[in-house]
Amino acid sequence: MKILSVNAGSSSLKFQMYEMPEEKVLISGVFERIGLDNSFYTIKINGEKVKKEADLSNHDVAVNILIKELLENKTIDSLDEIKGVGHRIVHGADKFSNSVILTDDVIKEIEKFSDLAPLHNPANISGVYAFKKQIPNAVQVGCFDTAFHQTLKEDRFRYAVPDEWYTKYGVRKYGFHGMSHKYVSQRVMELLDKDLANVIVCHLGNGGSISAIRDGKCIDTTMGFTPNAGIIMGSRCGDIDYSIIPYIMGKTNMSITEIDNQLNKKSGMLGVSGVSSDFRDIDIKIEENHKPSILANDLYINSIVGYVAKYYVELGGIDALCFTAGVGENAPHIRRMIVDRLSCLGIKIDKEKNDEFRFGKEGIVSSQDSKVPVFVIPTDEEVVIARDTYDLI
């Protein structure tokens, strides 16, 4: 059965087509700068990547070209071969704890959450409408970034704010990166050959979050009402004292919108280092003994170690510590600095193994005398979407 996994952004559209249940990737690609000048797309098939320029005025045009590429590359002979299209939907609030078939009523319900994810949900839904129009016979499925975290109990997802904020306005912890945390926690349980296990997953990229997972269910996570909570990130501040906001507004006359932009796009590693939100750029400056970059890195490690230690206690010990996503998978020195700080818990790293695991390589990087195995597991959100779509069909 052929299934498409789709992630539609406001100006982009990523996709992978799978043969299910074998989970074989047949073709993948990304359409970029949709609705903007100089738009283009990239197709990868049989190990070869081809970039093409195209006038991508909207998502409908992108989907039309995608279908044309599927046919021309003989990935399909007709659209009827595509049985399902799974869509990444960023926010399902507390309404959706699992992936669902996207009926008209469900889509209307998701559209109600647009004010919780104004940059993401409308774009996700535009992708849904484009595929419904172009591939009407395929089952459309919504897979939510927030769904995996809906197992949090009320004493973990509620904030100590006026009750009306929660009951009337939905102010609570939702958590994000759910499909990544789901994939990695399931994968590590396979590698451990255990049905029951306590796992901490560190999804470390330009955006980052950490989750405490007991027996496949999330009990706590760092991101909150928005993705700006938790650990320090590339350009997001993570946890701060909220009183900073009215203080800076008073000092600078910035609006709340300007403040929000500063905390989401001008803070984090970028804000402290003054260099970049890209960890690779900061690493270069650290080698040059650039003090602000060194400080940014120290703050970053501190924020991660603090949450890992907290979740270790909340879980009552762990069976595995996992690193994933761009930084987690490809920055051995970051993994080493984090694990070295956790040595009091008996967690130790093997330097040679750790240096070896990068660029898609999966395995254990802890030393033989470590009380807890440390894994590097490349994340695969697309296959989670494909699995859920296949299961629902």
Provide the mean pLDDT of the chain. 95
pLDDT of residue 18: 97
Q: Is the pLDDT at 10 greater than 90, yes or no?
A: no
pLDDT of residue 255: 97
pLDDT of residue 45: 93
Residue closest to 50 by CA, chosen among 78, 67, 27: 27
Concerning whether 145 is annotated as a catalytic residue, the answer is yes
Beta-sheet pairing, 139-144 with 82-89: parallel
Tell me the Cα Rg of the chain: 21
For residues 205 and 180, what is the distance between their CA atoms, to the nearest angstrom? 12
For residues 336 and 342, what is the distance between their CA atoms, to the nearest angstrom? 10
| Residues with Cβ within 8 Å of residue 368, at least 6 apart in sequence | 350
Beta-sheet pairing, 374-376 with 320-324: parallel
Q: Is the pLDDT at 264 greater than 80, yes or no?
A: yes
C-beta of residue 282 within 8 angstroms of C-beta of residue 300: no
In the structure, what pLDDT confidence band is assigned to residue 113 with cuts at 50, 70 and 90? confident
Q: Is the pLDDT at 119 greater than 90, yes or no?
A: no
- DSSP assignment, residue 137? T
pLDDT of residue 118: 79
CATH code given to domain 2-144? 3.30.420.40
- Average pLDDT of the segment spanning 171-185: 96
> Would you identify the CATH topology of the domain 192-381?
Nucleotidyltransferase; domain 5 (3.30.420)
- Average pLDDT of the segment spanning 300-309: 98
Q: Which of 30-44, 117-131, 180-194 has the highest mean pLDDT?
A: 180-194
Q: How many residues does the chain have?
A: 393
Structure tokens at 29: 């690609």
For residues 79 and 89, what is the distance between their CA atoms, to the nearest angstrom? 23
Residue closest to 332 by CA, chosen among 371, 299, 365: 365
For residues 212 and 210, what is the distance between their CA atoms, to the nearest angstrom? 7
Q: Is the pLDDT at 254 greater than 80, yes or no?
A: yes
Q: Angle CA(15)–CA(16)–CA(19) in degrees, nearest 5?
A: 150
Give residue limits of the domains in the chain.
Answer: 2-144, 192-381
pLDDT of residue 334: 97
State pLDDT tens for residues 206-253: 999 999 999 999 999 999 999 899 999 999 999 999 999 999 999 999
Is residue 304 exposed (0-12), middle (13-18) or buried (19+ Cβ within 10 Å)?
Answer: buried
pLDDT of residue 260: 92
In the structure, what pLDDT confidence band is assigned to residue 116 with cuts at 50, 70 and 90? confident
pLDDT of residue 120: 82
pLDDT of residue 49: 93
For residues 36 and 39, what is the distance between their CA atoms, to the nearest angstrom? 6
Strand order in the sheet with 100-101: 48-53, 40-45, 24-32, 12-19, 2-8, 82-89, 139-144, 100-101
Residues forming a β-bridge with 198: 214
Whole-prediction pTM: 0.92
Q: What is the dihedral of CA 141, 144, 150, 152, to 10 degrees?
A: 150
77, 80, 104, 145: the catalytic one is 145
Beta-sheet pairing, 217-221 with 320-324: unpaired
- Average pLDDT of the segment spanning 9-30: 93
- Average pLDDT of the segment spanning 9-13: 85
C-beta of residue 86 within 8 angstroms of C-beta of residue 3: yes
DSSP code per residue over 16-56: EEEETTTTEEEEEEEEESTTSTT-EEEEEETTEEEEEE---
State pLDDT tens for residues 338-353: 999 999 999 999 999 9
